[in-house]
Structure 1
Amino acid sequence: MFGDMMGMMGKLKETQKKVEDTKKRMDTVLVDESSNDGKLKVTLTANRTIKSIEIADDLLHDKEQLEDYLILTLNKAIDKATNINEAELAAVAKDGMPNIPGLDMFK
């Protein structure tokens, strides 16, 4: 019994390390998003850190339009980054969870 418990604890620690490594790796995964017309381009990490924003010159003359472009494009990029982040972390967590009867939250 204690051997099983120690094995599970070891597996949980190993999984925790993999989760931390995956979180660090998400800083290197880049997500690109553009407005439909290509006038605004943003790049984020999968951890949702903005890395770059490119704005077409004609958007600089209309503050309200630029704000709309930023909101729409950044929200799309954040959604993409969040989906990648959650999928990667869920895969690591599911793979590393010990088989505990009745505990199937990652299935």
Structure 2
Amino acid sequence: MFDKIFEAQQKAGEVKKRLDAITVTGSAGGGVVVVTANANKQVQSVKIDPVVLKEGDIEMLEDVILTAINQAMEQAENISQSETAAMTKDLLGGMGGLGALFGK
């Protein structure tokens, strides 16, 4: 049983590394704001087209930034769920009849 716990910890570490390496992007306002994050939901960069700053509409800029961030986070969440589900399936598949207890 401890072997399975250790294996689960190792697989979780592997999934985290994979998620760190996956890049997702959210953009809004026709691409005037682009947010890049990794699949662990860590924002890596925010790019803002200088034309937005010239317009001076701060509320619009704030809305566009939020939209781009939310898009990136949604993509990251979807990828994270897929990777975690695959890891869980692999682990439960190796636990014999116990997998059925968790809906496998």
Question: TM-score, normalization: structure 1?
Answer: 0.82
Deviation of 1:44 after TM superposition, in Å, equals 0.3
- Report how many aligned residue pairs link the two structures: 99
The 4+ residue runs of structure 1 with deviation greater than 4 A are none
Deviation of 1:15 after TM superposition, in Å, equals 2.5
Q: Which runs of 5+ in 1 are unaligned?
A: 1-7
Instruction: Output aligned runs, 1:11-90, within 5 Å.
Output: 11-35=4-28, 37-60=30-53, 61-90=56-85
Q: Which has the larger radius of gyration?
A: 1
Considering only aligned residues, what root-mean-square deviation do their CA atoms show, in Å? 1.7
Q: Could you say which residue in structure 2 is the equivalent of 1:4?
A: none
Query: In structure 1, how many angstroms separate the alpha carbons of the residues matched to 2:3 and 2:48?
Result: 49
Question: TM-score, normalization: structure 2?
Answer: 0.84
Q: Is the 8 A contact 2:29 2:64 kept in 1?
A: no
